Every structure is written in C-alpha cells, then in structure tokens.
Amino acid sequence: MYVGVDVGGTYTDAVLLKNNRVRAMAKIPTRENLLSSLLESIDTILKDADKKEIKRIVFSTTIITNMIAGHKYDQVELLLIPGPGLTHDYYKIKPYVHIISGAVDYRGRVTARLDKQEIDAALSKIAAGGCNKVGVIGKFSPRNTSQEKRVEAIIKEKYPDWQVELGSRVGGKLNFPRRAETTYLTCATRQPYRAFLDSVQQALAEREINADVFILKADGGTLPLKGSEELPVETIFSGPAASTLGVQALTPPGETSVVVDIGGTTTDLALILSGKPLLSAKGARVRDQLTQVRALAVKSVPVGGDSVLELDGNKIIIRSERQGQAYCLGGPVPTPTDALRVLGLTSLGDQDRAAEAMGILGKALGREIKDIAARVIDQVVENISAEIEKMFWEWEQEPAYRVWEVLHKHKEKPRLVVGVGGGAAGFVNKVADRLGCSPYIPQYAAVANAIGAAVARPTMQVSLRADTEQGYYIIQEEGQQEKIKDRNFNERMALDLAKESLIKRAAKYGLEVDPDEIEVASQEVFNMIRDWHTSGRLFDVTVQTPRGITGRVGDGGDIDV
C-alpha cells in the first residue's frame, strides 16, 4: 500500500492506494502547524488499514515555501567570487553579499587568485554581525571547485561550527546568479527543515509506521526523507507537481493534456505533453528570482472561484484577491462562482443569492442576470485559455541551439483539459470548448494531488563534465574532480562513468538503480581544435533515473472522451 499526502496552503489531502486503487482518502483544512495537519490526514486514512502493509509514504509540503515567504529562517551571508564580467554593483544590491577576489574561466582555469586577507576581513565582518551561516559561490565553480573549497577550509578553520554551503554542490548548471540564489535558500532553510523532518520521523515512529518515507520535489520526483536534507529547496512548489502527477496517473498514457486546478483566487496550470509533465526551461522562480531548482512548468493565473468581481464603467473587472466566500455561499461580494450557479453549472450555494449577486453587477449595466453571468464566465474562461495558449506558445518558442532542433521545432496540441482540485469544475468544460479540446474531470479529481504524491518515483540526476585537454573530469553533484587516466577517453567511457556515479550516489540515499533503466538527459561532445589539430574533447553528460509514475490509478487508462 502506498500513501500520498499533499499539505497545501488551504487543504491537506491524503490518499491510501492499494493495487492502484484508492482505498481511503481525506481532506482536512491545513492548520498553521503543518505537522499536525499532516498527521491528522494520515491518521484518518489509516484508521482501518494495517500499518505493516504500508510500503511507502510520499509527502508534498509547503514547509519551504512558508519558511521563505514568512522569512522564518536565520540570517545568511554570501561570499561571492564573481571575477570579471557583469559589474559587481549588480550583486552588491543585496545587503548580505560580500565580494571577494578570485576567478575561474569557462574551462575551469584559475585566472585570478583568492586573497586570504580579504577573506579574513569579510569573515570578521560576518562574525561581528552575529551570522553563522555562509554560502560561498564562484562564477564557473562547477568547472573548478578549488576556490570555493579553499574558502570553505578557511572558514572551517576559524569558525568550525558555522554552516557553509558551496555553490558548486547546490547548483551545477551554468548560471551564476541562479546558483547564488539557490545556495542562499539552501543555507537559509536547511536547519529548520531538518528539524521538521526529525519531528515527522518521530511522529511516524510513534505510530509504528515503518514504511519508506519520501518527499516530493518541484520536478515531480521524490527523494528519501533523510536525503532531502541536503537540498531542501528542491521540495519547493511540490504542490502543483503533485496535481500534475495525479493527472498523469488518472489519464491514459501518452496523452497530451492541460492540467487546470481552479482554486479560490488562483488557477494553476500545467502541461502534460505526450504523457510527460513539461519541465520549466528556466528553473523555479523564488522570491522573484530564478533558481537552479528543476521544476515543472507551472503557471498561476490570478483568477479563481472566489475572485472579487467589480465594475469599472461598462467593464467587469476580475480582481486577484478574495473577500471571503462566494455571495451565494454567504460571502460579501459577487464572484465567478455566483455566475456558475446562475447558469446551473454548479450546485454550490444558494440560487437566489447567486442571482442577487449578478443583479448587483447587472443593475449598473442594465443587463439581464443571465447575460451578466455568461459575460463573467466568458471572461474567466478567456483569461485562463489565453494563458494556456501562451504556455504552449512559450514552449514552442524555447530557444534552439542546433540546426536539428530548429528544424524539428516542437509543436503539439492538447487533447484533454483536465480539471482537478474540486473547485469550480464548471469552468473546465468551457475552457476545453474554447481550446477545442475534450474536458475531463477524473473520479478522484478532488484528491488528484495526493494521488500524484502517492505514485511519484524517486529521481536523481548526475552530470559529468570531462575536459581531455586538461585531463580531468568532474561529477557536478559531488563536486569531486578526478584525473583522466586513459589517453583514449571517449564518449562511451564518459557515459559509463556518469552512470556509475549515479548508481553510487543513489545508493548513498538508499536507492537502488537498475543500470538498464538509466536515462540520458543530455549529451554533448565537442572536439577542441587548436592549430588545425584535435587537442582534446569536451564531454558534458547528464544521466538520470527514469522519470514517471509507479502506475495508473482507478480507471486511468481507459477513459473514453
């Protein structure tokens, strides 16, 4: 039996799956104490179950999101080694940034040295401010970790109890500002996150639950609870990922669908293309800054069932805030839910109050109540549909750096519009209509997110870069640099090395990986020609455990629409 729990902003949902069938489900309001909401939902679904049969529990929580939004973490300072390039003023805007000398270039060659005195001075300043959490981030540090490591050693020598995070371990891709941001967030959240994990484990132990426990990440994969300590920010925004995986489990394989989760004031959108959830090309945006956190491409549209409707002259304006429930449910102002009620598209609330709500808008416009309701619905549907079209357009516009990619530009049309989350289902039909798709509301739409968590699989990536001219390779995630001994080092050897490292790394987290199942996420080889001769080769290989879900749930797989 599998358990999936999604602790969302408003509700905590949980499901118990047995043989890919939903055996129990729970939906409770999320309280301020996330742990107690989580435990209550588990207790509810496990009431009649044999705890020994539970093989796996997967959580998705907003703990990191809440920590960051509420600024509930200790002070963090960053030591940046930006070297030449963009002006340093660009980084100095942030008060917690200290710039130090040093530089590494795109090939990982050191082009400027560290300055010990300068580092000591920066550390004294940090210490004087009472901070003991430091991130060290170098430009191009994934290509050569030595300067970051040297700074770490200096810090550890002087302040052994400080928490130090290195950019090269947290963000191995090329993007210095995103790496710095990711390192900052990692540094800030690791300790409180660890405390949260400890209390989860303790609570499960008290309940005599001995299942493997995983946590959901923004990319729709999972990590073992203990392992997620290393990269807590990867668990941010796992809620939309949970819903998307849920839809994947509740629809036929290979389907191209739009996931529409209409909530109170926002509608979350995600895409499943030929059965695979679309990843964001840029990484998650946190605190208005891009990070190196791999995340699904999710868009939040500021419109939902409880959005406030207002008049501006002859126009109906949909505000992005809510002032309580819909008017038909006793709320203070007209909302899109009232419009749905008037047209009989929902059975929520009171018909007369809904009509009254539309009347408030209609009187000023001198129009029939049904007309107004239809106009409101059209407007909401148009907002959502336009955003969906934009998502597809943006995906098609993703830059291509090879002739082959330009000639084989992705183009795909959605077939299904899948409504989840239980809110405002009435809109889904209309959105599907507008986009020329079929609407689909799965049986367990209300807890699709929890189902998504339950079926999520562990994911792990390893990136290898080898530079045969300089004679070294580096496993980005481990930050370890090794000499290339074989003079005939080739593409196959690079790939084998990467796979081997992935298996080793996975074992460290208690995961077993079948070598035959390993996917190659990207692979690049460049010949380096100097003076008309091949002087070396550059290899960049990323391998990963297979993406996907453990199985389809309920009638997923044989719907007929």
Partner 1 sequence: MSKLLPKKTGLIFFPAFDWAISPTHPEREERLLYTRDQIFEEGIMDLPQIEEYSPSLALIHDLARTHFCVPRVEDQITEAHLIAAGAAILLADKIVQGEIKNGFALVRPPGHHAMRVVHGNRGFCNINNEAIMVEYLRARHKIKRIAIIDTDVHHGDGTQDIFWHDPDVLFISFHQDGRTLYPGTGFTYELGGPRAYARTINIPLPPGTTDDSLLYVVDNLILPVLADFKPDFIVNSAGQDNHYTDPLGSMRITAQGYAKLTEKLRPDLAVLEGGYAIETALPYVNMSIILALAGLDYSGVKEPDYLPGRFKETPEHKDQVRRIVQELRQRWETRDNAPIEKRDVNGNYYQRKKHIFYDTDYIEENQLEKLRLCDCCPGYLIIDTKANLGFNRPATALCISVPAAACPKCRAEAGDVFQQSKKTSQYRNVYLQDKHSDTFYGYDCEKSREWLTEGR
Q: Which residues bind partner 1 (CB under 8 A)?
A: 84-90, 103, 105-107, 111-112, 139-140, 174-178, 282, 290, 397-404, 406-407, 409, 524, 526-529, 532-534, 538
- At its nearest, how many Å lie between partner 1 and the CB of residue 64? 22
Q: How far apart are CA 429 and CA 202, in angstroms?
A: 45
Q: What is the torsion angle, in degrees rounded to the nearest 10, for the CA atoms of residue 372, residue 374, residue 380 and residue 382? A: -120
Measured in whole angstroms, how far is the alpha carbon of residue 343 from the centre of its chain?
37
**C-beta of 371 vs 394, nearer to partner 1:** 394
Q: How far apart are CA 102 and CA 106, in angstroms?
A: 14
Residue with Cβ nearer partner 1 (55 or 88): 88
**Which CB sits closer to partner 1, 142 or 246?**
142
Q: Please state whether beta strands 11-18 and 21-29 pair in parallel, antiparallel, or not at all (unpaired).
A: antiparallel
Residues 6+ apart with CB under 8 A from 202: none
CB of 49 to partner 1, least distance (A): 47
In which residue are the tokens 């002739």 written?
403
Residue 93 or 128: which CB sits closer to partner 1? 93
CB atoms within 10 A of CB 218: 27
CB of 275 to partner 1, least distance (A): 24
For 467, the 3-state DSSP assignment is strand
- H or E element that contains 238: helix 238-250
Whole-number minimum distance, CB 77 to partner 1, in Å?
Answer: 21
Q: How far is the CB of 528 from partner 1 (least distance, A)?
A: 6
Residue 274 or 397: which CB sits closer to partner 1? 397
Q: Which is nearer to partner 1, 487 or 533 (CB)?
A: 533
Closest CA to 182 of 86, 104, 289: 289
* 182: phi then psi, degrees, rounded to nearest 5: -65, -40
Q: Is 295 helix (H, G, I), strand (E, B) or coil?
A: coil
Shortest Cβ distance from residue 474 to partner 1 (Å)? 14
Q: Closest separation between CB of residue 402 and partner 1, Å?
A: 5
* Residue among 103 and 342 whose Cβ is closer to partner 1: 103
- Which CB, 480 or 534, lies closer to partner 1? 534
Closest CA to 477 of 510, 446, 503: 503
Q: Give all strands (DSSP E) within 371-420, no chain letters.
A: 416-420
Closest CA to 541 of 484, 460, 472, 465: 465
Shortest CB 178 distance to partner 1, Å = 6
481: helix, strand or coil: strand
